[in-house]
Amino acid sequence: MTEPEELHPDDVQHHLREVQDLLARQKVVEGLVHRQDMPRHELVENLVHKQHEAGLRTKLDSLHPADIAYILEALPREERLYVWDLVKAERDGEILLEVSDAVRESLIETMAPEELKAAAESLDADELADLAPDLPPEVIQDVFQSLDTEGREQLRAAMSYPEDSVGALMDFDMVTVREDVSLEVVLRYLRRFDELPDHTDKLFVVDREDHLKGILTLESLLINDPELEVADVMRSETVISFTPEDEADEAAQAFERYDLVSAPVVDGEKRVIGRLTVADVVDYIREESEAEILSHAGLREEEDIFASVWSSVKNRWAWLAINLVTAFIASRVIGAFEGSIEKLVALAALMPIVAGIGGNSGNQTITMIVRAIAMGQVEQSAMNRLLKKELGVALFNGLVWGSLLGVLAWWLYGNVELGMVMTAAMTLNLLLAASAGVLIPMIRIRLGADPALGSSVMITALTDSGGFFIFLGLATIFLL
């Protein structure tokens, strides 16, 4: 008996290397054939091309859509489009959902309207709603017209909710049962399905008007007497449900807190209209995490690693321009103390330490605050308490590490006053970094802005300019 193939998390890397090897081998062999002067040269070249193309098709057909998406993202544009053309048309929709937004745009640009329509029609309403913003309006209109009445209503509903709401994440593929039937009837009903919807760990119990009455877990269904009615074994208390208007962040926290696999989504009258699954939540968390990482660096949107130079420039220039301004301000702060630096050259060697440690400490603080905000653990009312706590941490670190650096400066330059200035400057800059680390994200929230966007750029600019000013200012007052 053949044993099932064991899959490992790093298999996708192996698949990527295999595809890259096939592409490289194809280029080498076709290049050699092209340079040969032989009879029926074009026929031989065409046969070699088809042979390697068949190998790539076979490889791609054996892969999961998510693995193909990963491979497409890891290939340069020319190779990516070549591989994309080899993917079976019926898998286009699934793969377009899996790839990043930037890569999806590059693939859609190469597809004819008929291909896009076929790819979209292969998706469920909730999946189509995710893909719709990237599709041309005429394609969306054609797809909408091809749906049945229920599909149109589902698509219209899914596209009507904000991007960061439960309604935008929910799917409509679920199983509901009545409370007045026996478990045996439910089992017979489930056997009529070719397969249950993904991540089905519970059935939603509803009345004739689809009002949520409780949940029936698959475990309860299997271990209880089949003659019992659903009402006897269902759970009607402490049922966790969401509305389409609920924030996706709050739903994600609930899934993590209560170890949920799926949960019903109900309207204002408690009618079940969809469900939220752990797969939807994981995708949302991943996207938010990636967006937060990009925001810290001042990037406006996800970037295709193999995008054109101009596309990358447009995505990065805004915060680089801001950084240029802040760097110029820092240079003018140093320029204001040129006379002090000329008289005591040691200042030039020591001032980057003060600024660097301040920036590091500020980034630690702002990262903790932004993370707490994302997890819903911080409100505006807690700002004063957080500020006091972070100032206490900064004061302790400033005195400890500042004293250590002060002793080091004294030992290097034989100047005890310089060591004391170093300690004071380090402490004051860490206090500045702590204040900025708390206030910047909290103020941005109050203004309705993303607390993570450009936070690293802003905190570094502030601690650089502030650190230089504090250190050089104290040195000018007490040493010169």
pLDDT of residue 44: 47
Q: Which fold has domain 11-164?
A: MgtE N-terminal fold (1.25.60)
Which CATH entry fits the domain spanning 176-279: 3.10.580.10, 1.10.8.620, 3.40.50.970, 3.30.300.30? 3.10.580.10
The Cα–Cα gap between 435 and 308 comes to 40
The Cα–Cα gap between 409 and 479 comes to 14
pLDDT of 183 over the 90 cut: yes
Which pLDDT band, with edges at 50, 70 and 90, does 218 fall under? very high
- CA-CA distances (angstroms) from residue 461 to 234, 280, 323, 341? 58, 38, 7, 21
Which pLDDT band, with edges at 50, 70 and 90, does 225 fall under? very high
Q: Which amino acid is at 234?
A: M
- DSSP classification of residue 165: B
pLDDT of 157 over the 70 cut: yes
Closest to 353 measured CA to CA, from 421, 418, 413, 405: 405
* Percent of the chain residues past pLDDT 70, beyond the cut: 88
Which pLDDT band, with edges at 50, 70 and 90, does 201 fall under? very high
The Cα–Cα gap between 444 and 6 comes to 48
Tens-digit pLDDT profile for residues 398-436: 999 999 999 998 998 888 999 999 999 999 999 999 998
pLDDT of residue 31: 57
Question: Average pLDDT, stretch 340-359?
Answer: 87
Residue 90 near residue 63 (C-beta atoms within 8 A): no
Question: Average pLDDT, stretch 204-224?
Answer: 95
Which pLDDT band, with edges at 50, 70 and 90, does 29 fall under? low
The Cα–Cα gap between 255 and 247 comes to 13
Mind giving me the DSSP string for 208-246? TT-BEEEEEEHHHHHHS-TTSBHHHH-B-SS---B-TTS
Sign of the alpha-carbon torsion through 296, 297, 298, 304: negative
pLDDT of residue 367: 84
pLDDT of residue 1: 37
Question: Average pLDDT, stretch 118-128?
Answer: 88
Highest mean pLDDT among 30-34, 226-230, 437-441: 226-230
pLDDT of 43 over the 80 cut: no
Coil, helix or strand at residue 349? helix
Q: What is the pLDDT of the chain when averaged over all its residues?
A: 85
pLDDT of residue 404: 92
Instruction: Write out the two tokens for 98.
Output: 């899996």
Burial class (CB in 10 A: 0-12, 13-18, 19+), 43: exposed
Q: What angle do CA 398, 402, 406 make, to 5 degrees?
A: 165
Q: What is the pTM of this model?
A: 0.72
Tens-digit pLDDT profile for residues 445-469: 888 777 777 677 788 888 889 989 9
Q: Which residues contact 399 (CB under 8 A, 6 or more apart)?
A: 423, 427
pLDDT of residue 48: 56
Residue 448 near residue 380 (C-beta atoms within 8 A): no
Highest mean pLDDT among 5-14, 257-266, 335-344: 257-266
pLDDT of residue 324: 84
- CA-CA distances (angstroms) from residue 32 to 48, 50, 102? 11, 15, 35
The Cα–Cα gap between 158 and 50 comes to 43
Residue 458 near residue 386 (C-beta atoms within 8 A): no
pLDDT of residue 313: 75
Coil, helix or strand at residue 369? helix
pLDDT of residue 23: 79
pLDDT of residue 368: 85
Instruction: Write out the two tokens for 370.
Output: 């932004």
Q: Which range (219-228, 235-244, 282-291, 422-431) has the least confidence?
A: 282-291
pLDDT of residue 32: 52
Q: Which residues contact 29 (CB under 8 A, 6 or more apart)?
A: 48, 52
- Cα distance from N-terminal residue to C-terminal residue, the chain: 87
Residue with tokens 């009545």: 178
Question: Average pLDDT, stretch 97-114?
Answer: 89
Question: Average pLDDT, stretch 90-95?
Answer: 92
pLDDT of 292 over the 80 cut: no
pLDDT of residue 479: 84
Number of H-type helices and E-type strands within the chain? 22, 5
pLDDT greater at residue 353 or residue 290 = 353
Residue 399 near residue 392 (C-beta atoms within 8 A): no
Instruction: Write out the two tokens for 252.
Output: 């994600």
Q: Where are the domains of the chain?
A: 11-164, 176-279, 309-479
pLDDT of 34 over the 60 cut: no
- What CATH class does 309-479 carry? mainly alpha
Categorise residue 238: left if φ over 0, alpha if ψ from -120 to 50, beta otherwise: left
Instruction: Write out the two tokens for 392.
Output: 């206490």
